[in-house]
A = this chain, B = another copy of it.
Amino acid sequence: MTTLLTVLDQPAELCCTPITRDAMSAENAALLAAKFKAIGDPTRLRLLSLVAAHDGNEACVCDLNEPLDLSQPTVSHHLKILVDAGLLTRTKRGTWSFYALVPGALDNLADILRTPAS
């Protein structure tokens, strides 16, 4: 009886009473699924990877468009989904938009997946 899939994250969003054992509530499941769904897409995984590979975990859109072989609106669409999921932040500097990893966001998701004993 491992106590898997606990909910420890989302301190920003006022929700999610932590469950340390037993099954996951429907509300927590919905909130977590939204985040995993955001990274459950090849393009968005690559975008996260590209951002993480840059200095300061931050990248300009101009650096993200070319390697993906997708139209600019499509890339912008995926970036918006990652921002809405709380995984990236957007900062505008001049004409350029910079996307950065939200510190700890991916680690929080990792903690949920890790089995204690295993």
Chain A residues within CB distance 8 Å of chain B: 1-5, 21-24, 26, 29-30, 32-46, 48-50, 52-55, 57, 67, 101, 103-104, 106-107, 109-115, 118
Nearest CB of B to A21, in Å: 7
Q: Number of copies of this chain in the oligomer?
A: 2
A4-B52 contact, Cβ under 8 Å, with A29-B42, A114-B106, A118-B107: yes
Q: Considering the chains assembled together, what is the distance between the CA atoms of A33 and B46 in angstroms?
A: 10
Residues from chain B with a CB closer than 8 A to the CB of A57 are: 2, 4
Leading 10 A-B pairs by shortest Cβ distance: A37-B40, A4-B52, A40-B40, A24-B49, A36-B40, A110-B113, A29-B42, A110-B110, A33-B42, A5-B49
A45-B36 contact, Cβ under 8 Å, with A110-B111, A114-B106: yes
Q: Report whether A5 and B114 are in contact in the complex, using a CB–CB cutoff of 8 Å.
A: no
Closest B residue by C-beta to A113: B110
Residues from chain B with a CB closer than 8 A to the CB of A29 are: 42-43, 45-46, 49
